[in-house]
């Protein structure tokens, strides 16, 4: 769960979402994992040989006042508890995180210059004061934890030399100076940018690499958008291509016969937007991107009408169908990270 939460930070979840650990014992050994879009009644016979279930859609979504085991939800909870199986949901964090569903779907078409259709997340500015000569080791630790990346540039920082003062008091173990005597040290003000969801990890790495017993540092909120994450994805094909061929390629990678519905008159597309699941509300953003084609799972009548009048062709492949890649993707990540773990795709 820690591995998945780092790849797809739970802090990115929508306010209404219930992603994360939902049921079970965290300390139990894990040998076999079931990965599924939803925990279905048909999966229950598998639970006797499973330690953890990873699902896209949370099992516990709305508050419940009673657990009736003669209902589908109650039967699932009873089976999980009876077999001592933990359950972890990764819903909207997977939908919006960089490297999640958006990139998987964009990869089906080989889109270039892929970016979020509706960006999410913020940057923080981390400033730390380091004794001269140690700034590189502290910076490398922060960069290694995810700091200092702006667009396609990594290891971004700014460094200013100055004089720091401090007076070690009784009981202190100063790296420089003596107890009871004010010290003046040549220091470097080292500042870099940090995605908000990685701040805790970066600060921990910085403190571990810093030679001082007590470290002076500041975290500032920034108005900058961290365009790493967000709902939907948008990108371009190297050259225009017939929409029929694009949808045929997408369907083949998705493992379905084809789209359930196509609305629009365009015959070719180069600028393409995508969103798994129910992406109708992103149609205005696809129009603003000047997309030729928008691929999603489902959309309402009025949004489709809006797209049609804006000259945007929309292809609907089904809600579950466009989220189904979650299973194969998460299973492959777990197999790679934990070679001894048995992963079952449900």
Q: If you average pLDDT over residues 307-320, what whole number do you get?
A: 96
| pLDDT tens digits for range 10-65 | 988 988 999 999 999 999 999 999 999 999 999 999 999 999 999 999 999 988 88
Mean pLDDT of all residues in 227-237: 92
Q: Rounded to an integer, what distance in angstroms lies between the CA atom of residue 7 and that of residue 93?
A: 9
Using the predicted structure, report yes or no on whether residue 226 has a pLDDT greater than 80. no
Give Cβ neighbours of residue 247 (< 8 Å, ≥ 6 apart): 258, 259, 262, 295, 315
Longest dimension (CA), the chain: 80
Asked if residue 206 has pLDDT above 80, the reply is yes
How many Å apart are CA 221 and CA 248, to the nearest integer? 45
Question: What is d(CA 268, CA 313) in angstroms, rounded to the nearest whole number?
Answer: 10
Q: How deeply is 125 buried, as exposed, middle or buried, from its count of CB atoms within 10 A (0-12, 13-18, 19+)?
A: middle
pLDDT digits (tens, 9 = 90+) for 102-128: 999 999 999 999 999 998 878 999 999
Whether the per-residue pLDDT at 225 is higher than 80: the answer is no
Q: Comparing 272 with 195, which gets the higher pLDDT?
A: 272
Can you give the pTM of this predicted structure?
0.80
How much is the pLDDT for 305? 96
Question: What is the arithmetic mean of pLDDT over 157-167?
Answer: 96
For position 5, what pLDDT does the model report? 94
Buried/exposed code over 258-281 (b: 16+ C-beta within 10 A; e: otherwise): ebeebbbeeebbbbbbbbbbebbe
Per-residue model confidence (pLDDT) at position 227: 76
Stretch among 59-63, 190-194, 342-346 having the lowest mean pLDDT: 59-63
pLDDT score of 23: 96
**% residues pLDDT > 90 (the chain):** 90
**Is the pLDDT assigned to residue 286 strictly greater than 80?**
yes
pLDDT > 90? residue 309 = yes
- Check: CB of residue 84 under 8 Å from CB of residue 24: yes
Name the least confident of 58-67, 83-92, 222-231, 300-309. Answer: 222-231
Q: Is 7 helix (H, G, I), strand (E, B) or coil?
A: helix
pLDDT of residue 166: 93
What pLDDT does 107 receive?
Answer: 97
Closest CA to 273 of 255, 251, 262, 289: 289
DSSP of 41-64: GGGGGGGGG-SEEEESS-S--S--
Give the per-residue pLDDT at 125: 97
Q: Considering the chain, what is the average pLDDT of its residues?
A: 95
């Amino acid at each position: 769960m820690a591995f998945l939460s780092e790849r797809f930070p739970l802090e990115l979840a929508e306010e209404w979402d219930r992603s994360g650990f939902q049921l079970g014992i965290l300390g139990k050994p894990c040998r076999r994992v079931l990965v599924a879009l939803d925990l279905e009644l048909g999966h229950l016979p598998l639970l006797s040989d499973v330690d953890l279930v990873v699902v896209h859609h949370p099992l516990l979504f709305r508050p419940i006042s009673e657990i009736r085991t003669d209902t589908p939800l109650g039967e699932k909870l009873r089976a999980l508890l009876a077999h001592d199986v933990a359950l972890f949901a990764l819903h909207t964090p997977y939908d919006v995180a960089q490297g999640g569903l958006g990139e998987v779907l964009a990869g089906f078409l080989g889109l270039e210059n892929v970016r979020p259709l509706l960006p999410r997340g913020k940057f923080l500015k981390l400033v730390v004061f380091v004794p001269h000569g140690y700034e590189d080791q502290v910076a490398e630790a922060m960069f290694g934890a995810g700091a200092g990346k702006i667009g396609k540039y990594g290891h971004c920082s700014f460094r200013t030399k100055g004089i720091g003062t401090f007076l070690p008091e009784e009981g202190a173990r100063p790296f420089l100076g003596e107890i009871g005597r004010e010290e003046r040290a040549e220091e470097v003000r080292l500042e870099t940018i940090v995605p908000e969801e990685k701040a805790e990890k970066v600060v921990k790495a910085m403190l571990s690499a810093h030679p001082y017993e007590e470290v002076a540092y500041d975290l500032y909120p920034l108005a900058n958008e961290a365009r790493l994450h967000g709902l939907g994805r948008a990108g371009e094909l190297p050259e225009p291509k017939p929409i029929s061929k694009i949808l045929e390629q997408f369907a083949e990678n998705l493992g379905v016969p084809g789209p359930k519905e196509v609305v629009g008159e365009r015959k070719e597309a180069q600028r393409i937007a995508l969103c798994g699941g129910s992406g109708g509300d992103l149609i205005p953003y696809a129009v603003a991107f000047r997309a030729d084609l928008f691929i999603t799972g489902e959309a309402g009548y009025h949004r489709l009408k809006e797209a049609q009048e804006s000259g945007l062709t929309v292809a609907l492949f089904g809600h579950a169908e466009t989220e189904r890649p979650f299973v194969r993707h998460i299973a492959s990540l777990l197999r790679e990270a934990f070679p001894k773990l048995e992963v079952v795709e449900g």
